[in-house]
Amino acid sequence: MTDDRRAAGTPTLEDVARAAGVSRATVSRVINGVRNVDPVIQEAVRQAVSVTGYTPNRAARSLVTRRADAVALVVSGAGIEPQAAEEAEGTGASGDGSSFTAQVFADPFFGRVVTGVVNYLRPRGMHPVLMFAESSRAREEVVAYLRQGSADGALVVSTHAEDPLPALIAEAGLAAVLFARPARPVPVSYVDLAHQDGARLAAEHLLGRGCRRTATISGPLDVPAGQARLTGFRDTMARHGHPYIPVVEGQFTQESGEAAMERLLAEHPDLDGVFAANDLMALGACHVLREHGRSVPGDVAVVGFDDSSAALACRPPLTTVRQPVEGMAAEMTRLLLDRLARPDGPVTSVIFEPELVVRGSA
C-alpha cells in the first residue's frame, strides 16, 4: 500500500514503523487487519499510530483489503411500486417514497437503531450508509450497491412482513444481519427480543394493579413482533382466568393508537386497562382517554412497549416494556462484522430479554 504523504507534513507509515521499531511492511499488515501478527507487535503499532497521529489512506487501504469500511443500514419494506405511484398521482397520494421516509424518521425506534449502529462502528473506523428500500426498484439498487462492493455488508430493518429484501440478499450470497426475526425463514443471522415474554410482563402488571376489564391495541398482525406481543398478552390473561381480551389492530403509529382507542371506548366503555404494543400507540391511546374524560391511571391503566422517547413524552409518563434497541443494534452490527471476518461461519440469532419499566401510567 503506497502512502507518500511526507511532503504534506502528515505522518506516514515510515514514521509509525520507526516509532514502533518494526518494518513498514509490518505496520501495513497491522493496519490492514492481517491476522497472523504477534499481539505484542500489534499493540506496539497501535501505540505508535496514536503517538504519531497517523491516519490511514482509505482509498489506498481499500485497494489492498478490498473493503469499503462502510456498511449499508437499510430500512426496507413492501412500499408502493412505480405503477401504483403513477396511479396515485391522480389521487393526490404520495407515491415517491417520501411518505415511507417520513414515517421512518417520525418513529423514535429507528433513531435508536442508528444510535446503536453508529456507536459500535465509529471506534472501529467504519461508517453506516443509510438506504431506503420501499419498492422493487429500490431493493434492486441496494443489492447492486452491495454487489459492487460500495458497502461491505448490510444491516436490514424490515418494516413489512412481505419484505423480499432479506431473501434477495441471501440468494445473492451477500453479508447481512437482520433486526428482528424474518416472517419467512431465510439463512440470515438476526437479533430479536423475546416479545411474548415482554407482553407477559405487561399483562401481569395490569393484573397486579387490579385491572379486570383489559383490552389491547396490537401491532400489525402480519409482522412477527405484532403477532408475538398479542399472543403473549392473551395467553397470560387466559392463564389468569380472562379468556376474552378485546383487540384492535394498530400500525405502530400514534394515529393508529388514537383510532384504536376510540373504537375500544365505543365498544367497551367500562374497560380499566390497556396494553398497547408500542409506545407511540400507547401515547395516542392516552390522548384519547383524556379527551373522553378518563384519567390515566385512575380510570384506565395504560402500558406501552419499547421504552422509547414517546414513553417520556406521554402524560403521565408511560409504564412500558423496555426493548434495548441500542444494544440490539450494536449486537446486530457485531454479528455483521464477525460475518465479514469469517464468511463461512454459521448463521445465528441473538434474543434479548425485555424488562418492565414502571412509571405513572400504570
pLDDT at residue number 95: 46
User: In which residue ranges of the chain is pLDDT below 70?
Assistant: 1-9, 32-35, 56-68, 78-98, 100
- Nearest alpha carbon to residue 320 among 335, 308, 334, 332: 308
Q: Are 310 and 283 in contact (CB under 8 A)?
A: yes
pLDDT at residue number 68: 64
What is the DSSP annotation of 15-70?
HHHHHHTS-HHHHHHHHTT-S-S-HHHHHHHHHHHHHHT----HHHHHHHH---SE
Q: What angle do the packed helices 39-52 and 13-20 form, to 10 degrees?
A: 120
- Residues ≥6 apart with Cβ < 8 Å to 359: 311, 316, 317, 318, 319, 320
Kindly report the pTM of this predicted structure. Answer: 0.76
pLDDT at residue number 83: 42
CA distance 320 to 313: 13
CA distance 148 to 276: 43
pLDDT at residue number 35: 58
pLDDT at residue number 4: 44
Classify the C-alpha dihedral 52-57-60-65 as positive or negative: positive
pLDDT at residue number 209: 96
Residue whose entry in the numeric block shows the C-alpha cell 415482554:
198
Residue whose entry in the numeric block shows the C-alpha cell 405513572:
360
